[in-house]
Amino acid sequence: MPREIERKFLLKNDAWRAAAVRSERMSQGYIAGGERASVRVRIAGERAALNIKSGGLVASRAEYEYPIPLEHARELFALCGQGLIDKTRHIVPLGGFEYEIDEFHGMNDGLVVAEIELDDEAQEFPRPAWLGKEVTDLERYYNVRLVKHPFRDWTSQERNP
């Protein structure tokens, strides 16, 4: 079973921008987003994919991703009743790892989250000075939750974990 092991962090500052090697705008929506599994459709540039994650909103989950035709993804967006996530993903390589830094737009404008994928939950990884508080265990930072409760609606307490 393919697994995604991913940790999420807030950022202390914008120093990471100088190290970004590429950026790509993405739109994604959720056809289903329950407690046990989510089904996501994403368009990134001229590519589209259908993604299924199971195991809850935790660091290690089962993940399946399948490329689909761009036209199909656009049609599937109509099934995403909660709305879409709009973000730019920036790639920052560091010490043999890649940080994916998602800069959100629209209803989640102002939110920036760094993610790093690991081979093992206990794996060590570089922690640059710009990396802030870990939010892996806070469900509100997961995209499937941001669709339902966007950053613009967060209280000041929610914005400062």
Active site residue 30: yes
Tokens of 56: 């809850």
Name the active-site residue from 30, 99, 141, 142: 30
Tokens of 57: 């909103």
Closest CA to 118 of 100, 133, 131: 100
Quickly count: other Cβ atoms within 10 Å of residue 79's Cβ.
12
Cα–Cα distance, 4 to 10 (Å, whole number): 19
Catalytic residues: 30
